[in-house]
Structure 1
Amino acid sequence: MIKRTAYLGPKLSFCEQAAKLHTGQEQGEMLECSTIAGVFAAVEEGKAWQGIVPIENSCEGSVNETLDLLAYDSGLAITGEIIMPVKHHVMVREGLRTEEVTHILSHPQALAQCRKNLRHHFPGVRLRELPSTAEAARMVALSDKPWAALASAGAATAYGLSVIIPDMHDYPNNETRFVAISREANAYVPESKTSLLIHTRNVPGALYECLHEFALREINLNKIESRPARTRIGEYMFFIDIEGHKDDVTVQSAVAALLQSAAALRILGSYPAARFAGV
């Protein structure tokens, strides 16, 4: 298979930045996709050997589309993670004043991450959702309408836009976590994380019993989040990230116990824990 990495485009998106950080010096070819589902499809169909997609933000929480694709529509494994700071800037075509802006274009997560500041600086201005921040910048650059984009400084430079308000995000420590997905699981590496998907039984104490297995073995949890099981109201699946590799003895023991108590369990992948990537 060609060493090609699929990512949520267009070029200059935060996802492309994460993909380049993850691949490092061995970038190979990059395959731009217009949707998160398109990234998954490219990997599943063999058009790319791995894909990079956003999975959660430190302020706005999880990207539900990515979680749902992992849970219900894909057999791909998580093979890596990238955590990077995300800075959003308001940008316009040269000469457009702040008070003239009628619409602000961006990705839904970016708009949500800047909600308070947008209300303060642009009361009454309409917000328009697009597949990515970079696509918002591209559309503003090509349009003759009084629009602004919420995107990265790199996008402003590439499309010849002027930043009128920098650092629009509501919280200065705004970070997004991206994951690498592949058809093949990773080989063992130390200092790993493992992502699990657990469907608990609909009985009292079911979630407690699952979490107790980790506590008994002193396995630290990094994340737990529920998503509807798509069966009936009140039934949920849980995404759980733990410290350790699926081949570690303690993790294997916990998984064996969970298989006895949970309705279903799936290991989504074990991968090296990310270090903060300042960009």
Structure 2
Amino acid sequence: MNINTDRTSSPAFPKVAFLGPAGTYSHQCARDKFGTNVEYVEQPNISAIFDVLSEEIPYAVVPQQNSTFGSVIETYDNLRRDDIGQRIHVKGEITISIQHCLAVRSGIRPEGIKRIVSHEQALGQCAQYLSTHYPDAVRHKAPSTGQAALSLLRSDEVGLDDESELQTKSAAICSVLCAKMNGLEIVQENIQDRNNFTRFYVLSIDAEAKPPQLPESPQLFRALIRLESVHVEGHDLFARRPLQLVMGTLLTTFGVPTTRIDRRPSLNSTPFEDVYFIELEELGAPDYSIDRSGVYASWLHKVHQMAERARSSGVYATLLGVW
């Protein structure tokens, strides 16, 4: 566990885990929204962020989706875990603009780049640029954009044979801040394919506590519910007709706008069985700004009722978060 130096360690400030190292978009997101009200703790990958949440580190930010490249698979894979909705809860969201740059070590010629390193989301978000300008370059995945930048300084991280090959052939996709923090030269800025935004979930070990310094959202509330099969011997409708049952649940049980539906393979042993993640939205009442707590309490009660109705209809529903 590596504690970032944005704030000196103090029991007066809660800790927030993020996908490190310093300079990643997760770090930028956390700093933009939490400021100096927390202590930052970097983690090597998204799974480690979920693992480290505890009384010592009660909050975290994880990337959830990108406007260009879609859902962040590692985040949704972790949302399948049994402790999500029990020990770990989604308690907020943050969206930031993502502007990538192509960076190299000092003195490297751009025309000599043969390998480009970054997180798979960043590689996907810059696919058109890479295909146009570096069609023959090998695209190498890294755990984060920050680690991609650091990898240019360590040949073993990118699988190259020696230091001279590293110096002449590798580039990283990362933020301008990250490139400058690591002493890299920027070949080109704004290489993302289009207007590019990433949405992050804020995680907490407390279902009731409000994370520090999150912005107020005066127009809506949201909730995330996970739907899974209820296995009954000789009568497993979900496994045979999952999509129909999910859509029926949305239409007849929830009764509020559904803003997202994501799915991942189930963790059980049944082949081709999926877990569905349903994000719901409720428009705020007219007096929302005056009585936020009352409107939120009403929304929380409604969400719990919807989850109970889903369970009674033959679908196992787990409430993963309300915000």
TM-score normalised to the size of structure 1?
0.87
Is the CA contact (8 Å cut-off) linking 2:101 and 2:189 kept in structure 1?
A: yes
Question: 1:247-272 deviations in whole A, cap 9, x for unaligned?
Answer: 4254344333212113200010111x
Please give the secondary structure, in 1, of the residue aligned with 2:177. Answer: helix
Asked if structure 1 preserves the Cα contact closer than 8 Å seen for 2:80 and 2:267, the reply is no
Do structure 1's residue 159 and structure 2's residue 174 form an aligned pair?
no
Match of 1:72, SS state, is coil
Matches within 5 A, 1:63-78: 63-75=72-84, 76-78=88-90
- The percent of aligned pairs where both chains have the same amino acid is 29
* Partner residue in 1 for 2:277: 239
Instruction: Indicate the residue corresponding to 1:36 in structure 2.
Output: 46
Shift of 1:25: 4.2
CA RMSD of aligned residues (A): 2.2
Alpha carbons of structure 1 residues 203 and 100: separation in structure 2 relative to 1, 3 Å: closer
The reply to whether residue 86 of structure 1 matches residue 115 of structure 2 is no
- Partner residue in 2 for 1:225: 262
- Report the counterpart of residue 277 of structure 1 in structure 2: none
Cα 1:109/1:119, change in 2 over 3 Å:
same
Displacement of 1:187: 5.1
Match of 2:226 in 1: 197
1:211 to 233, 238, 250: 250
Contact kept in structure 2, 1:221 and 1:240, CA below 8 Å: yes
What SS does the aligned partner of 2:271 have?
coil
The alignment status of 1:134 with 2:164, answered yes or no, reads: no
Structure-2-length-normalised TM-score? 0.76
Q: Is 1:97–2:126 an aligned residue pair? A: no
Amino acid at match of 2:63: P
Structure 1 unmatched ranges of 5 or more: 272-279
Distance 1:128 1:24, change over 3 A: same
Report the secondary structure of 1:71's partner residue: coil
Contact kept in structure 2, 1:214 and 1:220, CA below 8 Å: no
Q: Is residue 124 of structure 1 aligned with residue 124 of structure 2? A: no
SS of 2:81's equivalent?
Answer: helix
Does structure 1 conserve the Cα–Cα contact (< 8 Å) formed by 2:15 and 2:41? yes
Structure of higher CA gyration radius: 2
**Structure 2 Cα separation of the partners of residues 8 and 127 of structure 1:** 21
Question: Relative to 1, partners in 2 of residues 1:183 and 1:74: Cα closer, same or farther, differing over 3 Å?
Answer: same
* Aligned residue-pair number: 266
Q: Does 1:62 align with 2:71?
A: yes
Kept after mapping to 2: 8 A contact 1:213/1:254: no
Could you tell me whether the CA contact under 8 Å between 1:196 and 1:239 is conserved in 2?
Answer: yes
Deviation at 1:220, TM superposition (A): 1.1
| Whole-angstrom CA distance in 1 between matches of 2:150 and 2:33 | 25
In structure 2, do the counterparts of structure 1 residues 24 and 193 end up closer, same or farther at CA, with 3 Å as the change threshold? farther
SS in 2 for 1:119: helix
For the 8 Å contact 1:101–1:125, the answer to whether it is kept is yes
Q: CA deviation at 1:234?
A: 3.8
